[in-house]
């Protein structure tokens, strides 16, 4: 059996929860073998949580900003599945603060996780996509990489960098059969958004904070992770075969609305 005949395989950085996990399940349902990587305990139980799918899911626990961790996980993925066709990067942290309020440690850590993990995933993963004859890279950015709220200097900067990295990959590897696109969500009901809601200074419940945030979105709701995952899976598959170098904003129309 040649590599071309083998079941496709994907590596999802930040894939143990939220958008990444929803993407892993959708890809596995379609018959793709998936490796998920994350800092959470869910990495070890990924296979058990995804039993009965057409594709297999394995998990790796590690630091997305660590060269050694990412290199080892991608190598183990290829050893397990025999190939690699799809790279997805969803890893992120979301500190708050202006450029003067953000400490150097928080700044550097945000860059290591949010843009560093995307770089490392592609740095170590793309050579395997090339061996498979091509593939797809999908990086999850944010609508805050295009237009941002106050007090998110580090996060917005890192997500803007994800957009540029994605365009660079699309340009550099198009002639070798690799497509690269980014997806920029707005508010999505993930652990990261719930953590942000928990910072509410008025001490309101999650539902109360969400109700306020929904009013800022033209369609008056917060997305489910599966809604963003569907876009990622589209871009990673045949449906997105002529999409490359583009950013797909999925924010319910949020950045299409003026702020007054």
Active-site residue 119, yes or no? no
d(CA 182, CA 236): 11
Catalytic residue among 96, 119, 155, 242: 155
> Where do the DSSP E strands lie in the chain?
9-13, 33-38, 57-61, 86-89, 135-140, 178-185, 247-250
Can you read off the two tokens belonging to residue 190? 């993930």
Give 121: exposed, middle or buried? Use CB within 10 Å, 0-12, 13-18, 19+. buried
> Where do the DSSP E strands lie in 57-177?
57-61, 86-89, 135-140
Residues labelled catalytic: 155
């Amino acid at each position: 059996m040649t590599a071309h005949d083998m079941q496709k395989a994907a590596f999802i950085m930040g894939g143990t929860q939220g958008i990444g996990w929803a993407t892993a399940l959708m890809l596995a349902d379609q018959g793709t073998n998936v490796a998920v990587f994350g800092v959470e305990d869910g990495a070890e139980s990924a296979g058990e949580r995804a039993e009965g799918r057409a594709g297999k899911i394995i998990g790796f626990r590690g630091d997305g900003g660590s060269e050694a961790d990412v290199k080892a996980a991608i190598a183990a993925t290829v050893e397990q599945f025999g190939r690699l066709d799809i790279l997805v990067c969803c890893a992120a942290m979301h500190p708050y603060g202006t450029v003067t309020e953000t400490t150097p440690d928080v700044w550097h850590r945000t860059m290591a996780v949010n843009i560093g993990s995307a770089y490392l995933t592609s740095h170590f993963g793309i050579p395997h996509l090339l061996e498979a004859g091509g593939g797809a890279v999908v990086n999850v950015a944010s609508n805050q990489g295009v237009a941002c709220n106050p007090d998110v200097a580090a996060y917005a900067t890192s997500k803007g960098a994800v957009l540029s990295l994605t365009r660079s990959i699309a340009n550099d590897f198009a002639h070798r059969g690799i497509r690269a696109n980014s997806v920029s969500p707005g508010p999505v009901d993930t652990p990261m958004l719930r953590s942000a809601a928990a910072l509410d200074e008025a001490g309101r419940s999650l539902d109360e904070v969400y109700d306020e945030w929904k009013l800022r979105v033209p369609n008056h709701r917060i997305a489910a992770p599966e809604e963003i995952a569907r876009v990622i899976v589209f871009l990673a598959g045949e449906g997105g075969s002529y999409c490359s170098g583009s950013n797909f904003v999925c924010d319910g129309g949020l950045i299409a609305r003026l702020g007054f």
